[in-house]
Structure 1
């Protein structure tokens, strides 16, 4: 599967309803994606990331249960995508679709063949104040993983709602106390043909030259 860079960058979507829950994902394919992820930059070249690839059915179900519980609480709070842009019919319809697909993933996370959790070592704990420097040493690699997966016919989704139960999942997976989780990436083959660029705000509405 060959995808030109611009197409890869504009068609790597959060895949939820179209994840194939029945088709196994070869471990070597996940390893290939992670090898590419490790080429991403990190602050001071520390490379203090860690990656937990969860394929055990029992562990996936437990993580999925935590994720589903967190999703339902988030949805019921009214803060999910469905509650946004209610005064804009076009965006509101798109938000409803996003929310529906997120609900589906919340119900089926534990059935996804591979769950990849990106973590980072924090030493003495999370830094106070602005943490951009810390998470900036993990999140680019996670995005690289998603791009590599897309190029290999796999779908992923950027999720963080499991972090409401970070300590429980850390205990479940034996994650050390000085390692924090940053992202959960469900990974599976996807159904259907391909993906297209999403509708986005015009650049003119968000571009600021020299000053705001």
Structure 2
């Protein structure tokens, strides 16, 4: 295995918002390839309780976009107020501008993918860790597969504030949990760079909390 290729894929798969190509169609066969790779992710007890909704219909996207925008707009406004003068820092301003852009154009993204799980979370930490752990590796598999084919995505959760309304729009049964919404499109740039991250020694410990690795 060429680790230079896999390392590049893992270190440059970004949350893509501003660089989604809103005009280029996403071929069904490409999306299906990525979803098949998603299904290769590990799943607790091999339950494979995941379900995937692919949304292309513009009317359905418009309805979901309304829910998305309502929550996203309020979220950004609250966070802009919370950061205060820090909004003038370039990195902070860029982050908010990226989020606002996606809110503005969400209805124009070619495809939404909504990952779901059969069942409902219980509220118990151990149980819910296993519950959500049953799909997040698959979501990341899906995003890596998209990236390797020139597409981008980001896992969003705004519409989950109105999960019941979204479920009615989509015909999702009451015993199925929506995990998020991934806007999917080709990217407008051919490559991405690794992100700035805190040093490993600041976040990784050995044998006990706070012990330097």
Question: Under a length normalisation based on structure 1, what TM-score does the superposition of the two structures give?
Answer: 0.91
RMSD: 2.1
Q: Match of 1:183, SS?
A: coil
Please point out which of 153, 173, 182 is paired with 1:185: 182
Distance 2:31 2:123 in 1: 34
Show the counterpart of 2:71: 70
1:129 aligns with 2:124: yes
Distance 2:200 2:84 in 1: 20
Show the counterpart of 1:114: 111
Distance 2:61 2:112 in 1: 7
Residue 162 (structure 1) shift? 1.1
Question: Under a length normalisation based on structure 2, what TM-score does the superposition of the two structures give?
Answer: 0.90
Structure with more helix by fraction: 2
- Structure 1 residue runs of 5 or longer lacking an equivalent are none
Q: Answer whether contact 1:155 1:190 (CA < 8 A) is retained.
A: yes
Distance 1:207 1:84 in 2: 31
Q: Answer whether contact 2:110 2:185 (CA < 8 A) is retained.
A: yes
Q: How has the CA–CA distance of structure 1 residues 22 and 4 changed in structure 2, closer, same or farther, with 3 Å as cutoff?
A: same
Show the counterpart of 1:103: 100
Matches within 5 A, 1:50-65: 50-65=51-66
**Paired residue total:** 205
Show the counterpart of 1:18: 19
Show the counterpart of 1:151: 148
